[in-house]
Amino acid sequence: MRPTTPPNHVTPASPAIREEDLQAEERFEDELIMHLERDQFVAETSRPVPRAQLSRGATAGLWALRVFVIIVSLMVIYAFIAQLG
Amino acid sequence: MSATEAPVSPARLLPPPLTEEDAARSEDRSRVHLARGHRRRWYLLWLLVGPGILAMIGENDGPSMIAYAADGAEYGLGFFVPFIPILFAMAYVCQEMCMRVGAVTHRGYGELVLQRYGKVWGWFGAGDLTITNLVTLVAEFISIRIGLAYFHLGPGVAVALGLALVVFTLSGGRYWRWERIVLGLALFNGLFLLAAILVKPHVGTIVHSLGFSPFPGGNFNTLLLLLASTIGATVTPWMIFFQQSASADKGMTPRDIGHGRYDTAAGAVLGAIFGLGALICGAALLTHGGATIQGFTPGAGFPQALERVAGGFVGTLFALGLVEAGAVAILTISASTAYAAGECVGASHSFNSSPRNATLFYAANIGVAVLAATVILIPGAPLLSIALNANVLATVLLPVSLVLLVMLANDRDLMGRWANRRSTNVIAIAVIAFVGVCGATYGIDSFLRAAHLIGT
Protein backbone atom coordinates (compact mmCIF):
# COMPACT_ATOMS: atom_id res chain seq x y z
CA MET A 1 0.00 0.00 0.00
CA ARG A 2 1.23 3.47 -0.91
CA PRO A 3 2.44 5.62 2.03
CA THR A 4 0.61 8.90 2.44
CA THR A 5 2.14 12.10 1.06
CA PRO A 6 3.05 14.68 3.70
CA PRO A 7 2.05 18.35 3.26
CA ASN A 8 4.38 20.81 1.54
CA HIS A 9 6.25 17.95 -0.04
CA VAL A 10 8.82 19.57 -2.33
CA THR A 11 12.03 18.41 -3.84
CA PRO A 12 14.71 19.64 -1.46
CA ALA A 13 16.93 22.31 -2.89
CA SER A 14 19.28 22.60 0.07
CA PRO A 15 20.13 20.57 3.19
CA ALA A 16 18.41 23.23 5.38
CA ILE A 17 15.13 22.99 3.46
CA ARG A 18 15.39 19.19 3.43
CA GLU A 19 15.72 19.16 7.23
CA GLU A 20 12.68 21.45 7.58
CA ASP A 21 10.64 19.21 5.29
CA LEU A 22 11.67 16.10 7.14
CA GLN A 23 10.62 17.64 10.44
CA ALA A 24 7.25 18.73 8.99
CA GLU A 25 6.77 15.26 7.59
CA GLU A 26 7.56 13.67 10.94
CA ARG A 27 5.21 16.05 12.79
CA PHE A 28 2.42 15.32 10.30
CA GLU A 29 2.86 11.57 10.64
CA ASP A 30 3.07 11.81 14.44
CA GLU A 31 -0.20 13.74 14.53
CA LEU A 32 -1.89 11.18 12.32
CA ILE A 33 -0.49 8.24 14.27
CA MET A 34 -1.61 9.56 17.65
CA HIS A 35 -5.28 9.54 16.58
CA LEU A 36 -5.27 5.81 15.85
CA GLU A 37 -4.93 2.89 18.21
CA ARG A 38 -2.02 0.63 17.39
CA ASP A 39 -4.23 -2.29 16.38
CA GLN A 40 -6.19 -0.03 14.00
CA PHE A 41 -3.29 0.40 11.59
CA VAL A 42 -3.54 -1.47 8.30
CA ALA A 43 -0.17 -3.05 9.08
CA GLU A 44 -1.68 -4.53 12.26
CA THR A 45 -5.07 -5.57 10.89
CA SER A 46 -3.32 -7.32 7.99
CA ARG A 47 -1.94 -9.85 10.46
CA PRO A 48 -4.36 -12.75 10.82
CA VAL A 49 -5.78 -13.56 14.24
CA PRO A 50 -4.86 -17.02 15.57
CA ARG A 51 -7.15 -19.90 14.70
CA ALA A 52 -9.58 -20.85 17.47
CA GLN A 53 -9.74 -24.45 18.65
CA LEU A 54 -13.36 -25.53 18.36
CA SER A 55 -14.53 -28.48 20.43
CA ARG A 56 -15.83 -31.56 18.61
CA GLY A 57 -19.34 -30.73 19.80
CA ALA A 58 -19.16 -27.17 18.46
CA THR A 59 -17.80 -28.37 15.11
CA ALA A 60 -20.48 -31.07 14.82
CA GLY A 61 -23.17 -28.55 15.77
CA LEU A 62 -21.98 -26.08 13.16
CA TRP A 63 -21.90 -28.76 10.46
CA ALA A 64 -25.36 -30.00 11.43
CA LEU A 65 -26.73 -26.46 11.19
CA ARG A 66 -24.92 -25.92 7.90
CA VAL A 67 -26.33 -29.08 6.33
CA PHE A 68 -29.81 -28.26 7.63
CA VAL A 69 -29.64 -24.73 6.18
CA ILE A 70 -28.46 -26.03 2.81
CA ILE A 71 -31.32 -28.56 2.68
CA VAL A 72 -33.92 -25.91 3.54
CA SER A 73 -32.35 -23.51 1.00
CA LEU A 74 -32.63 -26.18 -1.69
CA MET A 75 -36.28 -26.66 -0.74
CA VAL A 76 -36.92 -22.91 -1.11
CA ILE A 77 -35.10 -22.89 -4.46
CA TYR A 78 -37.12 -25.93 -5.63
CA ALA A 79 -40.37 -24.20 -4.63
CA PHE A 80 -39.19 -21.04 -6.42
CA ILE A 81 -38.49 -22.96 -9.64
CA ALA A 82 -41.79 -24.84 -9.33
CA GLN A 83 -43.59 -21.47 -9.07
CA LEU A 84 -42.04 -20.43 -12.38
CA GLY A 85 -43.41 -23.52 -14.06
CA MET B 1 -6.83 -7.49 21.35
CA SER B 2 -5.20 -10.22 23.33
CA ALA B 3 -5.34 -12.88 20.59
CA THR B 4 -2.85 -10.96 18.48
CA GLU B 5 -0.62 -9.82 21.29
CA ALA B 6 2.99 -10.88 21.00
CA PRO B 7 5.91 -10.35 23.34
CA VAL B 8 6.91 -6.69 23.07
CA SER B 9 10.03 -6.30 20.98
CA PRO B 10 11.79 -3.00 20.21
CA ALA B 11 10.32 -3.14 16.69
CA ARG B 12 6.82 -3.34 18.18
CA LEU B 13 7.39 -0.07 20.04
CA LEU B 14 7.84 1.80 16.77
CA PRO B 15 4.70 3.07 15.05
CA PRO B 16 3.67 0.95 12.08
CA PRO B 17 4.08 2.38 8.56
CA LEU B 18 1.30 4.78 7.68
CA THR B 19 -0.85 4.04 4.63
CA GLU B 20 -3.30 6.34 2.87
CA GLU B 21 -6.11 4.34 4.49
CA ASP B 22 -4.60 4.98 7.94
CA ALA B 23 -4.17 8.66 7.17
CA ALA B 24 -7.80 9.10 6.08
CA ARG B 25 -9.11 7.19 9.10
CA SER B 26 -6.82 9.14 11.41
CA GLU B 27 -8.19 12.41 10.08
CA ASP B 28 -11.74 11.27 10.94
CA ARG B 29 -10.59 10.09 14.36
CA SER B 30 -8.93 13.43 15.08
CA ARG B 31 -12.36 15.10 14.93
CA VAL B 32 -13.75 12.47 17.30
CA HIS B 33 -10.88 13.11 19.75
CA LEU B 34 -11.40 16.87 19.55
CA ALA B 35 -15.16 16.58 20.10
CA ARG B 36 -14.60 14.26 23.04
CA GLY B 37 -11.89 16.52 24.47
CA HIS B 38 -14.10 19.61 24.24
CA ARG B 39 -17.13 17.69 25.57
CA ARG B 40 -19.19 18.53 22.49
CA ARG B 41 -21.64 15.67 23.04
CA TRP B 42 -24.02 16.24 20.12
CA TYR B 43 -21.18 16.80 17.68
CA LEU B 44 -19.52 13.62 18.95
CA LEU B 45 -22.76 11.73 18.43
CA TRP B 46 -23.05 13.19 14.91
CA LEU B 47 -19.52 12.03 14.14
CA LEU B 48 -20.05 8.51 15.45
CA VAL B 49 -23.51 7.67 14.06
CA GLY B 50 -23.67 5.94 10.71
CA PRO B 51 -23.19 2.18 10.43
CA GLY B 52 -26.13 1.34 12.73
CA ILE B 53 -28.62 3.67 11.07
CA LEU B 54 -27.46 2.61 7.61
CA ALA B 55 -27.79 -1.10 8.41
CA MET B 56 -31.30 -0.69 9.82
CA ILE B 57 -32.64 1.80 7.27
CA GLY B 58 -30.80 -0.04 4.50
CA GLU B 59 -32.81 -3.10 5.45
CA ASN B 60 -36.02 -1.06 5.11
CA ASP B 61 -35.42 -1.72 1.43
CA GLY B 62 -37.82 -2.06 -1.47
CA PRO B 63 -38.83 -5.73 -0.89
CA SER B 64 -39.13 -5.06 2.86
CA MET B 65 -41.42 -2.06 2.46
CA ILE B 66 -43.52 -3.97 -0.06
CA ALA B 67 -43.59 -6.93 2.38
CA TYR B 68 -44.83 -4.63 5.18
CA ALA B 69 -47.42 -3.05 2.86
CA ALA B 70 -48.50 -6.53 1.72
CA ASP B 71 -48.90 -7.57 5.38
CA GLY B 72 -51.18 -4.58 5.94
CA ALA B 73 -53.11 -5.05 2.70
CA GLU B 74 -53.68 -8.76 3.38
CA TYR B 75 -54.27 -8.82 7.14
CA GLY B 76 -54.72 -5.23 8.32
CA LEU B 77 -52.83 -3.72 11.23
CA GLY B 78 -53.49 -6.42 13.82
CA PHE B 79 -50.51 -8.56 14.86
CA PHE B 80 -48.00 -6.76 12.61
CA VAL B 81 -48.05 -3.45 14.56
CA PRO B 82 -46.36 -5.04 17.59
CA PHE B 83 -44.55 -7.70 15.50
CA ILE B 84 -42.49 -5.24 13.43
CA PRO B 85 -41.01 -3.40 16.48
CA ILE B 86 -40.21 -6.80 18.05
CA LEU B 87 -38.32 -7.77 14.89
CA PHE B 88 -36.36 -4.54 15.03
CA ALA B 89 -35.57 -5.22 18.70
CA MET B 90 -34.22 -8.60 17.56
CA ALA B 91 -32.23 -6.84 14.84
CA TYR B 92 -30.80 -4.48 17.48
CA VAL B 93 -29.47 -7.43 19.50
CA CYS B 94 -27.70 -8.84 16.42
CA GLN B 95 -26.42 -5.52 15.08
CA GLU B 96 -25.14 -4.34 18.45
CA MET B 97 -22.94 -7.46 18.55
CA CYS B 98 -21.63 -6.67 15.04
CA MET B 99 -20.81 -3.10 16.01
CA ARG B 100 -19.10 -4.23 19.23
CA VAL B 101 -16.99 -6.92 17.51
CA GLY B 102 -16.02 -4.45 14.76
CA ALA B 103 -15.08 -1.71 17.24
CA VAL B 104 -13.01 -4.03 19.45
CA THR B 105 -11.23 -6.09 16.77
CA HIS B 106 -11.13 -3.47 13.96
CA ARG B 107 -11.89 -6.30 11.57
CA GLY B 108 -14.86 -7.28 9.45
CA TYR B 109 -17.06 -10.32 10.04
CA GLY B 110 -15.85 -12.17 6.93
CA GLU B 111 -12.15 -12.00 7.77
CA LEU B 112 -12.67 -12.84 11.44
CA VAL B 113 -14.72 -15.96 10.66
CA LEU B 114 -12.22 -17.00 8.02
CA GLN B 115 -9.17 -16.51 10.24
CA ARG B 116 -10.65 -17.67 13.52
CA TYR B 117 -12.78 -20.64 12.43
CA GLY B 118 -11.15 -21.62 9.14
CA LYS B 119 -11.57 -21.12 5.43
CA VAL B 120 -14.53 -23.49 5.11
CA TRP B 121 -16.75 -21.36 7.36
CA GLY B 122 -15.41 -18.12 5.93
CA TRP B 123 -16.18 -19.11 2.36
CA PHE B 124 -19.55 -20.61 3.29
CA GLY B 125 -20.48 -17.26 4.84
CA ALA B 126 -19.22 -15.34 1.82
CA GLY B 127 -21.14 -17.71 -0.47
CA ASP B 128 -24.39 -17.22 1.47
CA LEU B 129 -23.84 -13.49 1.36
CA THR B 130 -23.14 -13.39 -2.36
CA ILE B 131 -26.25 -15.41 -3.23
CA THR B 132 -28.61 -13.47 -0.96
CA ASN B 133 -27.07 -10.11 -1.90
CA LEU B 134 -27.36 -10.78 -5.61
CA VAL B 135 -31.00 -11.83 -5.33
CA THR B 136 -31.78 -8.92 -3.01
CA LEU B 137 -30.04 -6.43 -5.29
CA VAL B 138 -32.19 -7.60 -8.18
CA ALA B 139 -35.22 -6.94 -5.96
CA GLU B 140 -33.86 -3.44 -5.17
CA PHE B 141 -33.62 -2.56 -8.85
CA ILE B 142 -37.17 -3.90 -9.27
CA SER B 143 -38.24 -1.63 -6.41
CA ILE B 144 -36.74 1.43 -8.13
CA ARG B 145 -38.38 0.30 -11.35
CA ILE B 146 -41.80 0.06 -9.66
CA GLY B 147 -41.36 3.49 -8.08
CA LEU B 148 -40.29 5.10 -11.34
CA ALA B 149 -43.05 3.34 -13.31
CA TYR B 150 -45.49 5.50 -11.33
CA PHE B 151 -43.89 8.48 -13.09
CA HIS B 152 -43.98 6.63 -16.44
CA LEU B 153 -40.23 6.00 -16.49
CA GLY B 154 -38.87 2.71 -17.81
CA PRO B 155 -36.46 0.06 -16.47
CA GLY B 156 -33.52 1.65 -18.28
CA VAL B 157 -33.86 4.75 -16.09
CA ALA B 158 -34.04 2.56 -12.95
CA VAL B 159 -30.81 0.79 -13.91
CA ALA B 160 -29.02 4.02 -14.84
CA LEU B 161 -30.09 5.72 -11.59
CA GLY B 162 -28.99 2.80 -9.39
CA LEU B 163 -25.62 2.38 -11.06
CA ALA B 164 -24.95 6.13 -11.20
CA LEU B 165 -25.53 6.33 -7.45
CA VAL B 166 -23.09 3.49 -6.77
CA VAL B 167 -20.38 5.10 -8.89
CA PHE B 168 -21.04 8.59 -7.49
CA THR B 169 -20.84 7.52 -3.84
CA LEU B 170 -17.63 5.59 -4.49
CA SER B 171 -15.95 8.47 -6.25
CA GLY B 172 -14.69 10.30 -3.16
CA GLY B 173 -12.27 7.67 -1.90
CA ARG B 174 -13.33 8.32 1.71
CA TYR B 175 -15.51 6.32 4.10
CA TRP B 176 -16.83 9.50 5.72
CA ARG B 177 -18.06 10.95 2.41
CA TRP B 178 -19.72 7.69 1.39
CA GLU B 179 -21.44 7.31 4.77
CA ARG B 180 -22.78 10.87 4.86
CA ILE B 181 -24.20 10.71 1.32
CA VAL B 182 -25.99 7.43 2.07
CA LEU B 183 -27.24 8.76 5.42
CA GLY B 184 -28.66 11.79 3.60
CA LEU B 185 -30.48 9.53 1.17
CA ALA B 186 -31.70 7.28 4.00
CA LEU B 187 -33.58 10.23 5.55
CA PHE B 188 -36.09 9.92 2.73
CA ASN B 189 -37.19 6.55 4.13
CA GLY B 190 -39.38 8.86 6.23
CA LEU B 191 -41.58 9.33 3.15
CA PHE B 192 -43.37 6.12 4.18
CA LEU B 193 -44.25 7.69 7.53
CA LEU B 194 -45.52 10.82 5.82
CA ALA B 195 -47.64 8.70 3.46
CA ALA B 196 -49.01 6.77 6.47
CA ILE B 197 -50.03 10.01 8.21
CA LEU B 198 -51.76 11.21 5.05
CA VAL B 199 -53.87 8.04 4.70
CA LYS B 200 -55.38 9.11 8.07
CA PRO B 201 -55.30 5.81 9.94
CA HIS B 202 -57.69 5.24 12.83
CA VAL B 203 -55.58 5.73 15.96
CA GLY B 204 -57.87 3.50 18.03
CA THR B 205 -57.30 0.59 15.62
CA ILE B 206 -53.52 1.03 15.88
CA VAL B 207 -53.66 1.04 19.68
CA HIS B 208 -55.99 -1.98 19.72
CA SER B 209 -53.63 -3.93 17.43
CA LEU B 210 -50.79 -3.60 19.98
CA GLY B 211 -52.40 -6.61 21.68
CA PHE B 212 -51.36 -8.84 18.71
CA SER B 213 -54.97 -9.06 17.61
CA PRO B 214 -56.53 -10.05 15.38
CA PHE B 215 -54.06 -12.85 14.65
CA PRO B 216 -53.79 -13.33 10.88
CA GLY B 217 -55.73 -16.27 9.50
CA GLY B 218 -56.21 -17.70 6.01
CA ASN B 219 -53.79 -19.82 3.97
CA PHE B 220 -51.03 -21.27 6.18
CA ASN B 221 -48.32 -21.10 3.49
CA THR B 222 -49.18 -17.49 2.62
CA LEU B 223 -48.97 -16.58 6.29
CA LEU B 224 -45.61 -18.37 6.59
CA LEU B 225 -44.35 -16.57 3.49
CA LEU B 226 -45.34 -13.24 4.99
CA LEU B 227 -43.78 -14.11 8.36
CA ALA B 228 -40.55 -15.37 6.77
CA SER B 229 -40.33 -12.39 4.42
CA THR B 230 -41.13 -9.97 7.26
CA ILE B 231 -38.33 -11.50 9.35
CA GLY B 232 -36.08 -11.41 6.28
CA ALA B 233 -37.10 -7.77 5.95
CA THR B 234 -35.57 -7.00 9.34
CA VAL B 235 -32.52 -9.21 9.98
CA THR B 236 -30.34 -10.42 7.09
CA PRO B 237 -26.79 -11.70 6.46
CA TRP B 238 -25.70 -8.54 4.64
CA MET B 239 -26.46 -6.40 7.71
CA ILE B 240 -24.06 -8.49 9.79
CA PHE B 241 -21.23 -8.19 7.27
CA PHE B 242 -21.96 -4.53 6.64
CA GLN B 243 -22.18 -3.12 10.16
CA GLN B 244 -19.14 -4.93 11.49
CA SER B 245 -16.98 -3.97 8.51
CA ALA B 246 -18.32 -0.40 8.41
CA SER B 247 -17.67 0.04 12.15
CA ALA B 248 -14.06 -1.06 11.60
CA ASP B 249 -13.72 1.08 8.45
CA LYS B 250 -15.09 4.10 10.30
CA GLY B 251 -12.34 3.59 12.87
CA MET B 252 -14.57 2.93 15.88
CA THR B 253 -12.84 1.80 19.05
CA PRO B 254 -14.08 0.23 22.31
CA ARG B 255 -14.44 3.78 23.68
CA ASP B 256 -17.08 4.46 21.01
CA ILE B 257 -19.24 1.44 21.82
CA GLY B 258 -21.73 3.52 23.82
CA HIS B 259 -22.30 5.81 20.85
CA GLY B 260 -22.41 2.79 18.56
CA ARG B 261 -25.29 1.50 20.66
CA TYR B 262 -27.13 4.82 20.33
CA ASP B 263 -26.54 4.67 16.58
CA THR B 264 -27.87 1.12 16.31
CA ALA B 265 -30.85 1.86 18.58
CA ALA B 266 -31.69 5.02 16.59
CA GLY B 267 -31.57 2.96 13.40
CA ALA B 268 -33.85 0.32 14.91
CA VAL B 269 -36.39 2.89 16.15
CA LEU B 270 -36.43 4.79 12.85
CA GLY B 271 -36.57 1.54 10.88
CA ALA B 272 -39.54 0.30 12.93
CA ILE B 273 -41.41 3.61 12.60
CA PHE B 274 -40.88 3.85 8.85
CA GLY B 275 -41.73 0.14 8.45
CA LEU B 276 -44.96 0.71 10.36
CA GLY B 277 -45.61 3.59 7.96
CA ALA B 278 -45.53 1.17 5.01
CA LEU B 279 -47.75 -1.28 6.95
CA ILE B 280 -50.32 1.44 7.66
CA CYS B 281 -50.31 2.49 3.99
CA GLY B 282 -50.96 -1.13 3.01
CA ALA B 283 -53.70 -1.48 5.62
CA ALA B 284 -55.51 1.48 4.04
CA LEU B 285 -56.05 -0.83 1.06
CA LEU B 286 -57.44 -3.72 3.12
CA THR B 287 -61.04 -2.95 2.24
CA HIS B 288 -60.13 -1.89 -1.30
CA GLY B 289 -58.91 -5.20 -2.70
CA GLY B 290 -55.52 -4.90 -0.96
CA ALA B 291 -54.95 -8.65 -0.88
CA THR B 292 -55.08 -8.81 -4.67
CA ILE B 293 -52.41 -6.13 -5.26
CA GLN B 294 -49.31 -7.40 -7.00
CA GLY B 295 -46.73 -5.38 -5.08
CA PHE B 296 -43.97 -6.04 -7.58
CA THR B 297 -45.89 -5.28 -10.76
CA PRO B 298 -44.76 -1.99 -12.31
CA GLY B 299 -47.76 0.18 -13.04
CA ALA B 300 -50.19 -1.88 -10.94
CA GLY B 301 -48.64 -1.91 -7.49
CA PHE B 302 -49.10 -0.11 -4.18
CA PRO B 303 -48.47 3.48 -5.44
CA GLN B 304 -51.28 3.20 -7.98
CA ALA B 305 -53.62 1.53 -5.46
CA LEU B 306 -52.85 4.23 -2.87
CA GLU B 307 -53.53 6.92 -5.44
CA ARG B 308 -57.04 5.53 -5.93
CA VAL B 309 -57.71 5.34 -2.18
CA ALA B 310 -55.86 8.31 -0.68
CA GLY B 311 -55.03 10.59 -3.59
CA GLY B 312 -52.17 11.20 -6.00
CA PHE B 313 -49.88 12.82 -3.43
CA VAL B 314 -49.85 9.71 -1.22
CA GLY B 315 -49.23 7.54 -4.28
CA THR B 316 -46.32 9.83 -5.25
CA LEU B 317 -44.84 9.66 -1.73
CA PHE B 318 -45.02 5.86 -1.69
CA ALA B 319 -43.48 5.65 -5.18
CA LEU B 320 -40.64 8.00 -4.21
CA GLY B 321 -40.19 6.00 -1.01
CA LEU B 322 -39.74 2.82 -3.04
CA VAL B 323 -37.11 4.54 -5.20
CA GLU B 324 -35.26 5.72 -2.07
CA ALA B 325 -35.55 2.36 -0.33
CA GLY B 326 -34.14 0.56 -3.37
CA ALA B 327 -31.38 3.13 -3.90
CA VAL B 328 -30.08 3.11 -0.30
CA ALA B 329 -30.17 -0.68 -0.17
CA ILE B 330 -28.24 -0.95 -3.45
CA LEU B 331 -25.49 1.18 -1.90
CA THR B 332 -25.31 -0.66 1.43
CA ILE B 333 -25.71 -4.18 0.01
CA SER B 334 -23.09 -3.56 -2.70
CA ALA B 335 -20.78 -2.26 0.03
CA SER B 336 -21.30 -5.37 2.17
CA THR B 337 -20.46 -7.57 -0.84
CA ALA B 338 -17.32 -5.54 -1.48
CA TYR B 339 -16.23 -5.74 2.16
CA ALA B 340 -16.76 -9.51 2.17
CA ALA B 341 -14.86 -9.99 -1.10
CA GLY B 342 -11.86 -8.00 0.14
CA GLU B 343 -11.87 -9.66 3.56
CA CYS B 344 -12.07 -13.21 2.26
CA VAL B 345 -9.38 -12.73 -0.38
CA GLY B 346 -7.19 -10.72 2.00
CA ALA B 347 -7.11 -7.67 -0.27
CA SER B 348 -7.55 -4.05 0.79
CA HIS B 349 -11.21 -3.42 1.68
CA SER B 350 -11.87 0.14 2.70
CA PHE B 351 -13.63 3.21 1.35
CA ASN B 352 -10.55 5.05 2.66
CA SER B 353 -8.35 3.32 0.09
CA SER B 354 -8.12 4.53 -3.46
CA PRO B 355 -9.42 2.34 -6.31
CA ARG B 356 -5.79 1.73 -7.29
CA ASN B 357 -4.99 0.22 -3.89
CA ALA B 358 -8.33 -1.53 -3.34
CA THR B 359 -9.20 -2.63 -6.87
CA LEU B 360 -11.10 -5.75 -5.79
CA PHE B 361 -13.17 -3.78 -3.25
CA TYR B 362 -14.28 -1.20 -5.80
CA ALA B 363 -14.73 -3.77 -8.58
CA ALA B 364 -16.92 -5.98 -6.36
CA ASN B 365 -18.95 -2.96 -5.24
CA ILE B 366 -19.74 -1.91 -8.79
CA GLY B 367 -19.69 -5.41 -10.33
CA VAL B 368 -22.41 -6.90 -8.12
CA ALA B 369 -24.66 -3.90 -8.80
CA VAL B 370 -24.08 -4.20 -12.57
CA LEU B 371 -24.85 -7.93 -12.45
CA ALA B 372 -28.13 -7.38 -10.60
CA ALA B 373 -29.08 -4.49 -12.89
CA THR B 374 -28.54 -6.70 -15.93
CA VAL B 375 -31.10 -9.23 -14.65
CA ILE B 376 -33.94 -6.72 -14.57
CA LEU B 377 -33.24 -5.80 -18.19
CA ILE B 378 -33.65 -9.41 -19.35
CA PRO B 379 -37.03 -9.66 -21.10
CA GLY B 380 -39.32 -12.14 -19.35
CA ALA B 381 -37.11 -12.55 -16.25
CA PRO B 382 -39.22 -13.81 -13.29
CA LEU B 383 -38.85 -10.56 -11.37
CA LEU B 384 -41.93 -11.06 -9.20
CA SER B 385 -40.78 -14.46 -7.93
CA ILE B 386 -37.21 -13.24 -7.41
CA ALA B 387 -38.38 -10.28 -5.35
CA LEU B 388 -40.78 -12.36 -3.25
CA ASN B 389 -38.18 -15.00 -2.48
CA ALA B 390 -35.25 -12.63 -1.80
CA ASN B 391 -36.15 -12.01 1.84
CA VAL B 392 -37.16 -15.64 2.42
CA LEU B 393 -33.80 -16.93 1.20
CA ALA B 394 -32.06 -14.44 3.49
CA THR B 395 -34.12 -15.71 6.45
CA VAL B 396 -33.29 -19.34 5.67
CA LEU B 397 -29.54 -18.70 5.42
CA LEU B 398 -29.35 -16.36 8.40
CA PRO B 399 -29.00 -18.80 11.36
CA VAL B 400 -25.45 -19.92 10.46
CA SER B 401 -24.23 -16.32 10.18
CA LEU B 402 -25.87 -15.49 13.51
CA VAL B 403 -24.35 -18.50 15.29
CA LEU B 404 -20.86 -17.53 14.09
CA LEU B 405 -21.51 -13.93 15.14
CA VAL B 406 -22.48 -15.04 18.65
CA MET B 407 -19.34 -17.20 18.79
CA LEU B 408 -17.18 -14.21 17.83
CA ALA B 409 -18.91 -11.95 20.34
CA ASN B 410 -18.26 -14.56 23.06
CA ASP B 411 -14.62 -15.09 22.12
CA ARG B 412 -12.80 -13.67 25.15
CA ASP B 413 -9.42 -13.91 23.39
CA LEU B 414 -10.72 -11.44 20.82
CA MET B 415 -13.21 -9.41 22.82
CA GLY B 416 -11.73 -9.34 26.31
CA ARG B 417 -14.09 -7.55 28.68
CA TRP B 418 -16.31 -6.59 25.75
CA ALA B 419 -17.45 -10.18 25.25
CA ASN B 420 -21.17 -10.99 25.41
CA ARG B 421 -22.96 -11.08 28.74
CA ARG B 422 -25.09 -14.07 29.64
CA SER B 423 -28.32 -12.07 29.10
CA THR B 424 -27.22 -11.06 25.58
CA ASN B 425 -26.49 -14.71 24.78
CA VAL B 426 -29.91 -15.84 25.99
CA ILE B 427 -31.66 -13.26 23.79
CA ALA B 428 -29.36 -13.96 20.81
CA ILE B 429 -30.01 -17.72 21.01
CA ALA B 430 -33.76 -17.09 21.20
CA VAL B 431 -33.50 -14.88 18.09
CA ILE B 432 -31.55 -17.56 16.21
CA ALA B 433 -34.08 -20.24 17.18
CA PHE B 434 -37.03 -18.06 16.14
CA VAL B 435 -35.51 -17.11 12.79
CA GLY B 436 -34.43 -20.71 12.15
CA VAL B 437 -37.85 -22.19 12.93
CA CYS B 438 -39.76 -19.62 10.81
CA GLY B 439 -37.42 -20.00 7.82
CA ALA B 440 -37.32 -23.78 8.02
CA THR B 441 -41.10 -24.13 8.43
CA TYR B 442 -41.70 -21.99 5.37
CA GLY B 443 -39.04 -23.85 3.33
CA ILE B 444 -40.37 -27.29 4.24
CA ASP B 445 -44.03 -26.32 3.77
CA SER B 446 -43.34 -24.72 0.37
CA PHE B 447 -41.35 -27.74 -0.77
CA LEU B 448 -44.05 -30.20 0.27
CA ARG B 449 -46.69 -28.15 -1.54
CA ALA B 450 -44.56 -27.66 -4.66
CA ALA B 451 -43.82 -31.40 -4.77
CA HIS B 452 -47.57 -32.10 -4.25
CA LEU B 453 -46.81 -34.10 -1.12
CA ILE B 454 -49.44 -32.11 0.79
CA GLY B 455 -52.50 -30.25 -0.46
CA THR B 456 -52.19 -26.63 -1.58
With both helix axes pointing from N to C terminus, report the angle between B237-250 and B312-345 in degrees, rounded to the nearest 10.
Answer: 70
The 10 Å Cβ neighbour count of residue B7 is 5
In contact, B238 and B336? CB cutoff 8 Å? yes
User: Does the pLDDT value for residue A33 go beyond 80?
Assistant: no
Tell me whether residues A3 and B403 touch, CB distance under 8 A.
Answer: no
In the predicted structure, residue B3 carries a pLDDT above the cut 70: no
Task: State pTM to two decimals.
Answer: 0.87
**Most confidently modeled range among B212-221, B390-399, B419-428:** B419-428
pLDDT digits (tens, 9 = 90+) for B123-154: 988 888 888 899 889 989 989 998 999 999 98
**Is B116 an interface residue toward A (CB < 8 Å)?**
yes
Query: What per-residue confidence (pLDDT) applies to B53?
Result: 97
| pLDDT confidence bin for B291, thresholds 50/70/90 | low
Give the separation between CA B456 and CA B453, rounded to whole angstroms: 9
Closest chain A residue to B388, measured at CA: A80
Contacts of B131 (CB under 8 A, 6+ apart): B393, B397
Residue B380 has pLDDT above 50, yes or no: yes
Interface test with B, best of A30, A39, A53 (most B CBs within 10 A): A39
What one-character DSSP code corresponds to residue B446? H
The one-letter amino acid at B363 = A
B77: nearest Cα among B191, B192, B208: B208
pLDDT of amino acid B449: 85
Q: Which residues of B touch A79 (CB under 8 A)?
A: 443, 446-447, 449-450
- Looking at the complex, does the CB of residue A73 fall below 8 Å from at least one CB of chain B? yes
Q: Does B374 touch chain A (CB under 8 A)?
A: no
Q: Which of A2, A39, A69 sits opposite B4 (nearest CB)?
A: A39
pLDDT at residue A17 greater than cutoff 70: no
Query: Average of pLDDT values for B82-88?
Result: 91
Helix B109-117, helix B119-149: angle, nearest 10: 160
Contact B446/A41, CB-based, under 8 Å?
Answer: no
Residue B377: pLDDT over 50: yes
Q: What is the pLDDT of residue A29?
A: 65
- Predicted pLDDT at A2: 43
B354: number of Cβ within 10 Å? 17
On whether any CB of chain B is under 8 Å from the CB of A63, the answer is no
Predicted confidence at residue B58, as pLDDT, reads 93
A80 at the B interface (CB within 8 A)? Answer: yes
- Residue B116: its pLDDT value, please? 95
> How far, in Å, CA of B233 to CA of B215, rounded?
20
Percentage of chain B lying above the pLDDT 90 cut: 58
DSSP symbols for B22-74: HHHHHHHHHHHHHHHHTT-HHHHHHHH-SHHHHHHHHHS-HHHHHHHHHHHHH
- Asked if B447's CB is within 8 angstroms of A49's CB, the reply is no
**Is residue B189 a contact partner of residue B328, using CB atoms and an 8 Å limit?**
yes
